[in-house]
């Protein structure tokens, strides 16, 4: 499959990477509910076998557990993907998560240990919160890069203003924003800024946390586990839920013409934007990975893209 260089780095990424949020498991503030570690490892192995060359995780996913599962998976495969992780969300002994950019060096050491690597390929500030701490935090990130503990440094969920502020301290390799048909906020200023400044973009939630897979139903939503964060997400509640499932049905029909799922079409729609380097796609088991792997090569025609844009405009999405 084709690869694209990420920003100012030397990393050539496959169009989709393996996202490790859900495999952190249940029992924490932003979980996707219970998850079997063996299924997670099988999903990672399948993604690597099918050619995916990067994994995105974060310290906070499962409060360290996602990073540990990634490490376990890599011990039993000959594939050597790029490993990306994030900092800036910390937790206490009560497992309560807070934003803090005061402990990045400690967080980096903890992530290196959990991931069992000598260096993190891309280290990202997860959220620019508190805002007044981002300059100091970026200075620490730059120091970690100079020391060789991380190879490249990036941000996630940063605004144009916040990126401009920290660029005065050290270059930004990448930004990781949410981007899907149901969340297009970054199109106005963030994506153009990244494209102009050669900041790579790896978007998360291209299928909007499962809503655009074509497999989501109202019944599934009603039966989410109590610790699945999506139970309280606005796009999973009416009246938006019905609208969003209709979007999934529409793009599913486009997918049927070319024997791919609605989810693959949703991912391809994000990759159509010239500022997007690659998309993060989660998978909770090997079967799910096999279902989305066509997104690594599938591309929308201009006619198909225009058809989707017309639908989104008419339906105020």
**61 is an active site residue:** yes
CATH annotation of 4-210+274-298: 3.20.20.100
Which entry of 61, 82, 179, 236 is annotated as an active-site residue? 61
Q: Are 137 and 88 in contact (CB under 8 A)?
A: yes
* Residues of the chain where predicted confidence (pLDDT) is lower than 70: none
The pLDDT value recorded for residue 30 is: 80
The pLDDT value recorded for residue 31 is: 84
Q: What is the pLDDT of residues 214-272, one digit of tens each?
A: 888 899 888 888 888 888 889 889 999 999 999 999 999 999 999 999 999 999 999 99
Among the listed residues 14, 180, 34, the one whose alpha carbon sits nearest the alpha carbon of residue 84: 14
All structural domains of the chain with their residue ranges: 4-210+274-298
The pLDDT value recorded for residue 128 is: 98
The pLDDT value recorded for residue 27 is: 83
The pLDDT value recorded for residue 165 is: 98
Strand partners, 172: none
């Amino acid at each position: 499959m084709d690869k694209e260089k990420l920003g100012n780095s030397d990393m050539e990424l496959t169009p989709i990477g393996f996202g490790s949020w859900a495999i952190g498991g249940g029992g924490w503030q932003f979980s996707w509910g219970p998850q079997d570690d063996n299924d997670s490892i099988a999903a990672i192995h399948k993604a690597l076998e099918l050619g995916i060359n990067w994994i995105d995780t974060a310290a906070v996913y499962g409060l360290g557990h996602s990073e540990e599962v990634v490490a376990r998976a890599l011990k039993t495969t000959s594939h050597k993907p790029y490993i990306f992780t994030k900092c800036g969300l910390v937790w206490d002994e009560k497992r309560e998560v807070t934003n803090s950019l005061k402990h990045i060096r400690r967080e980096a050491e903890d992530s290196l240990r959990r991931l069992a690597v000598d260096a993190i390929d891309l280290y990202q500030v997860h959220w620019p919160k508190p805002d007044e701490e981002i300059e100091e935090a970026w200075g620490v990130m730059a120091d970690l890069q100079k020391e060789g503990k991380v190879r490249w440094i990036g941000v996630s969920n940063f605004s144009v203003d916040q990126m401009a502020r920290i660029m005065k301290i050290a270059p930004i390799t990448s930004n990781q924003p949410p981007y899907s048909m149901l969340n297009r906020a970054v199109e106005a200023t963030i994506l153009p800024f990244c494209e102009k400044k050669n900041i790579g973009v790896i978007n998360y939630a291209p299928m909007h946390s499962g809503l655009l897979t074509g497999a989501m139903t109202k019944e599934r939503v009603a039966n989410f586990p109590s610790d699945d964060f999506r139970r309280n997400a606005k796009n999973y509640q009416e009246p938006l839920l019905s609208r969003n499932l209709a979007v999934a049905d529409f793009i599913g029909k486009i997918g049927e013409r070319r024997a791919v799922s609605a989810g693959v079409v949703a991912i391809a729609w994000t990759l159509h934007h010239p500022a997007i380097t690659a998309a993060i796609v989660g998978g909770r088991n090997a079967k799910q990975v096999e279902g989305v792997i066509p997104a690594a090569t599938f591309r929308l025609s201009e006619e198909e893209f225009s058809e989707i844009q017309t639908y989104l405009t008419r339906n105020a999405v």
